[in-house]
Structure 1
Amino acid sequence: MNTRHATHLLVVDDDAALRMMLRGVLELSDYRVSEADSRDAALRALAEANDIAVVVLDLGLPPHAHEISEGIATLQAIQDAILPVKVIVLTGQDQEAAALAAIREGAFDFLAKPASADAILRAVRRAELFLQKERELGAQGITRIAINAQISDGLKGVRVDAEERLVRQILKETGFNVNQSAKRLGVKRENIYYFLKKFGIERDA
């Protein structure tokens, strides 16, 4: 296997046997695989390896392995950090409720356990393709943002949420460079400082 240019994946599951099985399937298809068994371990792995492209996430994680809450919290943390990864959710829990919650929190794909090796590989390849296309759009100056909109909050609330997420994403993409961020957003430097104060954004956020 040539790992130098292989896509880096993270498998998050508290079942060591299942992690080993998934790792074997993925490595046989020339992917580089890291593992985590909890939310903290997953977020630590993502912080330490900035080249992880796809996360395969089991929703049933400790300390609530028989519920979806901890997996959803992990998904929320990944989305809040605006990480350039696609999350494929796996669950053996209430599939309808799990699918709805996962989609609401920005999951790229949803697979019910037990998922076949072919189904997992197809989902990973779809995620890779989407990431590639998003990078091509980024090279054209187009940034894709995802927000959850509560329609009852009205258009103003949706606009503010979209504005904040866009500002945070551009700052992250430019390494918090105010000049580059202002140029990308088509505003003055002073506007960036206004946004920082308005949204309470700090460099380490």
Structure 2
Amino acid sequence: MSKPKILIVDDEESIRTQMRWALSADYEVLQASNRAEALSTMAMEEPSVVLLDLGLPPHTDSSVEGFAALSEIRSRWPITRVIVVTGNDEHDTALDAVSRGAHDFFAKPVEIADLEVLLRRNLQMVELERENLRLRKEIEEREGTEGRILGTSRPMVELMAMVDKVAHSEAPVLITGESGTGKELIARALHERSARARGPFVAINCGAIPENLLESELFGHEKGAFTGAHALNKGKVEYADGGTLLLDEIGEMPLHLQVKLLRFLQERTIERVGGHNLIEVDVRVVSATNIDLHEAILAKTFREDLFFRLNTVQLHLPPLRERSNDAALIANTVVQRYNGQHGTKITLTNEAFDAISAYEWPGNVRELLNRLNRALIVAGGERITPADLELAGRDQAPTIFDLRTARERVERAVIIKALEKNGGNISRAAVDLGTSRPTLHHLLNKYEITAREYTRA
């Protein structure tokens, strides 16, 4: 049985050596002396626990670098447990670290017996988290995406009909939509309904991986390609061979990697970092973004030729505020599933349904699910109220709804006026409105406006 991996991040070699010597019998001990080394090791090894000294270079006399490392580790590896190391007189700093996401702390000088207690406790929590994820994945695989994409609103019905049509094609698909709308679920639905359904579905978030590691994560690396590359490592593209690759947050990809991605899309071959052999890979590429790539092209942060390669088919996922009644449907379904799994009889009150329907949901479906999951855990009784969802005291909801309705009426009228002025020409109307053509197409669908009705005879 393999040993649990722990990572020691400390700029003092003597401390790293002491802890490695004391812990190596029970753990695979990894080491890093600064934030960059720590993140590189995290990406390659994914240890269960990190022992993080907050006084890292180049700011060893403060916690700035340590807090930055803590933030990145918690953001990118949420299951990994972080135990911070502080001086004896830095109790407030330790508490600050816990408030920022650290799971535990201990003070120097290191008492190995105390440290081993902390490690065992945190490793148990990691195993519980992994087991929960495994069970959740089993449930999701049994249900498939069919059971997780919820919505009876017109935009969602039309979107899923389009997913059915596009799934059987090999064409690249670009999924657009605000953060939290469920773009990865749509990508999975495309995969599960395609001829590649028996192959792998591999997702990579281009915005969550440091620029210096992203190329290796995508295309892999050969042994010795760079410091810390102790073995050959396949990238996400290779792992997706025979299946579907989702490039999430594609708009965050650095320009030099966009060139390499474009070459792969054209030639269907890759070259690992530090390698010289061309490797043929058969994948369908789906990308997703929450930014306007047309604006990114104008800002010269995204290549136009890559955009055209990725945007053969575009699917737009509307925000939850534009999907009438879907929020209440999702909420009710989540609660019923929870009851089925836990043998409970929890219900949403009428006031809770009203609050859910009235709220704007700036964080979209992700925010709704987070509020519901929290309410299901902490609600004392069998009824979830607006207060349990932290939506209480929003008596202004009808006003918000009225303002939104008024805003939408004005927006619709302005679009119609632009179409009338330009004889139904969408491109010219988009220029007048100061928006992109795809965005205007989305608004036309939203407001059920047919451009050809304004074509001049």
Q: TM-score, normalised by structure 2?
A: 0.32
5 Å matches for 1:77-116? 77-92=72-87, 94-116=89-111
> Do the aligned partners of residues 69 and 93 (structure 1) sit closer, same or farther apart at CA in structure 2, a change above 3 Å counting?
farther
Matching residue of 2:41: 45
Asked if residue 75 in structure 1 is aligned to residue 70 in structure 2, the reply is yes
> Separation in 2 of the partners of 1:123 and 1:18?
17
Contact 1:6–1:32 (Cα < 8 Å) also in 2: yes
Which amino acid in structure 2 is aligned with residue 203 of structure 1?
A: N
1:6 maps to: 3
User: Which residue in 1 is equivalent to 2:16?
Assistant: 19
Q: Map Cα deviations across residues 147-168 of structure 1 (whole Å, 9 max, x no partner).
A: xxxxxxxxxxxxxxxxxxxxxx
Q: After superposition, what is the alpha-carbon deviation per residue over 1:90-120, rounded to whole angstroms, capped at 9, x for unaligned?
A: 1117523212221122111111111300111
Identify which of 170, 179, 187 aligns with 1:199: 179
- How much does 1:36 deviate? 0.1
Segments of 4+ moved more than 3 angstroms: 188-191, 200-203
Contact 1:66/1:93 (8 A) holds in 2 = no
Write the distance in 1 (CA, Å) between the matches of 2:49 and 2:116: 11
| One-letter amino acid of the counterpart of residue 138, structure 1 | L
Paired amino acid for 2:29? V
Aligned partners of 1:135 and 1:70: how far apart in 2? 29
Residues 89 and 138 of structure 1, relative CA distance in 2, 3 Å threshold? same
Name the CA distance, whole Å, in 1 between partners of 2:16 and 2:66: 15
> Are the equivalent residues in 1 in contact too, given 2:35–2:69 (CA < 8 A)?
yes
Separation in 2 of the partners of 1:7 and 1:203?
Answer: 26
1:63 maps to what in 2? 58
Counterpart of 1:166 in structure 2 is none
- In the alignment, structure 1 segments of 5+ residues that lack a partner are 143-173
- Aligned mates of 1:93, 1:113 — CA distance in 2: 6
Q: Is the 8 A contact 1:27 1:33 kept in 2?
A: yes
Amino acid at match of 2:119: V
C-alpha displacement at 1:129, in angstroms?
Answer: 0.5
Higher relative contact order (CA 8 A, sep 6+): 1
Partner of 1:187: 149
Local SS of the residue matching 1:35: strand
Q: Secondary structure at the match of 1:198?
A: coil
Deviation at 1:67, TM superposition (A): 1.0
Matched residue of 2:177: which SS?
helix
Any idea what the Cα deviations from partners look like across 1:130-187, whole Å, max 9, x if unmatched?
Answer: 0111122223329xxxxxxxxxxxxxxxxxxxxxxxxxxxxxxx9xxxx96x568x32
8 Å contact kept, 1:11–1:57: yes
CA 1:93–1:63 in 2, change beyond 3 Å: closer, same or farther?
Answer: farther
Partner of 1:199, secondary structure, is: coil
1:155 aligned residue: none
Aligned 8 A contact 1:72 1:101 in 2: no
For residues 5 and 140 of structure 1, what CA distance do their matches in structure 2 show? 22
Work out whether residues 52 and 82 of structure 2, in 8 Å CA contact, stay in contact via their aligned partners in 1: yes
Q: Secondary structure in 2 aligned to 1:141?
A: helix
Distance 1:196 1:13, change over 3 A: farther
Whether contact under 8 Å (2:79, 2:129) holds in the other structure is no
Task: Supply the distance in 1 between the matched residues of 2:134 and 2:58 (Cα, whole angstroms).
Answer: 41
1:121 paired residue among 98, 109, 116: 116
> Cα deviation per residue 1:53-75 (whole Å; 9 max; x = unaligned)?
11011111001111111111100
> Within 2, Cα distance between the matches of 1:131 and 1:33?
17
Q: For 1:73 and 1:93, locate their aligned partners in 2 and report how far apart those are by CA, in whole Å.
A: 21
Relative to structure 1, the CA distance from residue 118 to residue 93 in structure 2 (aligned partners, 3 Å threshold; closer, same or farther) is: closer
- Structure 2 unaligned blocks of 5 or more: 151-155, 161-174, 184-203, 208-457
SS at match of 2:57: coil
* Structure-2 separation of matches of 1:121 and 1:183: 45
Q: In 2, distance between residues paired with 1:196 and 1:16?
A: 47
- So what's the TM-score if we normalise by structure 1? 0.69
State the distance in 2 between where 1:20 and 1:204 align: 35
Q: Which amino acid aligns with 2:20?
A: R
Q: Does the 8 Å CA contact 1:56/1:88 hold for their aligned counterparts?
A: yes
